[in-house]
């Protein structure tokens, strides 16, 4: 099985989650881990499972405006023009039966805070024709810039393993 994990990250938290998911998938798959800027420069993925994730900004996927704001809060370079939203909006429809999964990161506090990048990504993936493997999943950070809430990287690793097992149980013929 071949999988591609594409992520957007401002402060490194979503990147850490993406790496953990890729590690979990890697127990059963050949995995390619790409930040969205790199993925945008490549052809459409020809993989068995596409996993896409990003941070929750203003209750959903980031925008250039919210990425510019994030760039003022870190010394790490932040890609402002291309995020998961733009990458998915420019994607071509996929062949019937293509599989994908969606994840996001969001603030753990306050717990009642609505919105989820994972759910927005899931809607866009379904709109492109992907069949989602499981529900879009959020991983928590303690504050806007992090760190990840304790145990979230391990949970992401287990989630990646679960995605791989689901795909393998579907009886797909992977070579």
Q: With bands split at pLDDT 50, 70 and 90, how would you rate the model's confidence at 175? A: very low
Q: Looking at per-residue confidence, does 86 or 175 come out higher?
A: 86
44 close to 120: Cβ distance less than 8 angstroms: no
The pLDDT, as a whole number, for residue 155 is 98
Percent above pLDDT 90 for the chain:
63
Mean pLDDT, residues 72-88 taken together: 81
| Residue 131 reports pLDDT greater than 80 | yes
Quote the CA–CA distance of 137 and 53 in Å, as a whole number: 9
Cβ contacts of 144 within 8 Å, gap of 6 or more: 11, 73, 107
Quote the CA–CA distance of 29 and 2 in Å, as a whole number: 5
Reduce the DSSP state of residue 46 to 3 states and report it. Answer: coil
- 24-66 pLDDT, tens digit per residue, is 999 999 999 999 999 999 988 789 999 999 998 877 787 778 7
- 8-22 pLDDT, tens digit per residue, is 998 899 999 999 999
Length of the chain: 175
Residue-range domains of the chain with CATH: 2-169 (3.40.50.360)
60 close to 116: Cβ distance less than 8 angstroms: yes
């Amino acid at each position: 099985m071949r999988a591609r994990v594409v992520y957007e990250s401002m402060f490194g938290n979503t990147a850490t989650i993406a790496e953990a998911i890729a590690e979990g998938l890697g127990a059963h798959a050949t995995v390619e881990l790409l930040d969205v800027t790199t993925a945008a420069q490549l052809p459409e993925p020809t993989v068995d499972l596409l996993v896409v994730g990003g941070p929750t900004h203003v209750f959903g996927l980031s925008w250039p405006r919210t990425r510019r704001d994030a760039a003022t809060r870190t010394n790490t370079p932040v890609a402002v023009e291309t995020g998961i939203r733009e990458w998915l909006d420019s994607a071509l429809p996929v062949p019937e039966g293509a599989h994908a999964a969606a994840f996001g990161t969001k603030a753990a506090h306050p717990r009642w805070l609505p919105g989820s990048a994972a759910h927005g990504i899931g809607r866009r993936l379904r709109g492109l024709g992907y069949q989602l493997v499981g529900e879009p999943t959020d991983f928590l950070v303690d504050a806007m810039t992090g760190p990840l809430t304790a145990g979230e990287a391990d949970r992401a690793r287990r989630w990646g393993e679960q995605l791989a097992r689901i795909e393998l149980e579907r009886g797909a013929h992977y070579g």
